[in-house]
Structure 1
Amino acid sequence: MGVKRKAALAILVLLVFLGSLWLQGGLDYHWDSCLKGYNQVNKLHQLSNSSGADGAEGPSALEGCPGQTFQVSLLLTHLLAAPAYTSDVLLPPYLSSWDELVRFMEALGPMVGLISKEIESKTSIIRQLALLAEGNPEAELGPDINSINSVTTEAGTKNNVEASQHVDAYHSVRSMIWVELNRGVVDFNHQTDSGCRTLLRLHRALLWLKLFLEKLAETPVAGRLRSPSELCREAYQSTLANHHNWFVRRAAELAFIAMPERGFFFRLVCVQDQEELSKMLSRVVQAIGEVYDRTQKALEENGMLNLP
Structure 2
Amino acid sequence: MGVKSKAAAAILVLLLFLGSLWLHGGLDYHWDSCLKGYNGVNTLHQLYNSSGADGAEGPQVLEGCPGQTFQVSLLLSHLLAAPAYTSDVLLQPYLSSWDELVRFMEALGPMVGLISKEIETKTSIIRQLALLAEESPEAELGPDAQPIKTVSKETGTENKLEESQHSGAYHSVRSMIQVELNRGVVDFHHQTDSGCRTLLRLHRALLWLKLFLEKLAETPVAGRLRSPSELCREAYQNTLANHHTWLVRRAAELAFIAMPERGFFFRLVCVQNQEELSTLLRRVVQAIGEVYDRTQKTLEENGMLDLP
Which protein has the bigger helix share? 1
Q: Is the 8 A contact 1:144 1:167 kept in 2?
A: no
Q: Taking structure 1 as reference, are residues 242 and 133 closer, same or farther at Cα in structure 2, changes over 3 Å only?
A: same
Task: Show the counterpart of 1:78.
Answer: 78
* CA displacement at 1:17 relative to structure 2: 0.4
Corresponding position: 1:46 with 2:36 = yes
Q: Which amino acid aligns with 2:303?
A: G
How many percent of aligned residue pairs carry the same amino acid?
A: 79
* CA displacement at 1:270 relative to structure 2: 0.3
Corresponding position: 1:31 with 2:21 = no
Q: Is the 8 A contact 1:87 1:149 kept in 2?
A: no
CA distance in 1, matches of 2:196, 2:13: 30
Task: Show the counterpart of 1:153.
Answer: none
Task: Show the counterpart of 1:114.
Answer: 114
Give the root-mean-square deviation of aligned CA atoms: 2.5
Pairwise mapping of residues 158-307 of structure 1 onto structure 2 (< 5 A)? 162=160, 167-307=167-307
CA distance in 1, matches of 2:144, 2:183: 18
Q: Is the 8 A contact 2:28 2:121 kept in 1?
A: yes
Q: Is the 8 A contact 2:18 2:115 kept in 1?
A: yes
* CA displacement at 1:110 relative to structure 2: 0.3
Gap regions ≥5 residues in structure 2: 50-57, 150-157
Q: Is the 8 A contact 2:148 2:160 kept in 1?
A: no
CA distance in 1, matches of 2:88, 2:266: 33
SS at 2:138 equivalent: helix
Task: Show the counterpart of 2:68.
Answer: 68
Q: Is the 8 A contact 2:47 2:76 kept in 1?
A: no
Q: Taking structure 1 as reference, are residues 18 and 261 closer, same or farther at Cα in structure 2, changes over 3 Å only?
A: same
* CA displacement at 1:19 relative to structure 2: 1.0
Q: Is the 8 A contact 1:145 1:164 kept in 2?
A: no
Q: Is the 8 A contact 1:169 1:179 kept in 2?
A: yes
* TM, length-normalised to structure 2: 0.87
CA distance in 2, matches of 1:307, 1:230: 30
* TM, length-normalised to structure 1: 0.87
Q: Which amino acid aligns with 1:215?
A: K
Q: Which amino acid aligns with 1:99?
A: D
Gap regions ≥5 residues in structure 1: 151-159
Q: Which amino acid aligns with 1:222?
A: A
Runs of 4+ in 1 over 3 A off after TM superposition: 51-60, 143-150, 160-166
CA distance in 1, matches of 2:282, 2:144: 32
Q: Which amino acid aligns with 1:169?
A: A
Task: Show the counterpart of 1:142.
Answer: 141
CA distance in 2, matches of 1:52, 1:195: 29
* CA distances 1:186-230 after superposition (whole Å, capped 9, x unpaired): 000000000000000000000000000000000000000000000
* CA displacement at 1:2 relative to structure 2: 2.0
CA distance in 1, matches of 2:285, 2:103: 17
Task: Show the counterpart of 1:104.
Answer: 104
Q: Is the 8 A contact 1:85 1:163 kept in 2?
A: no
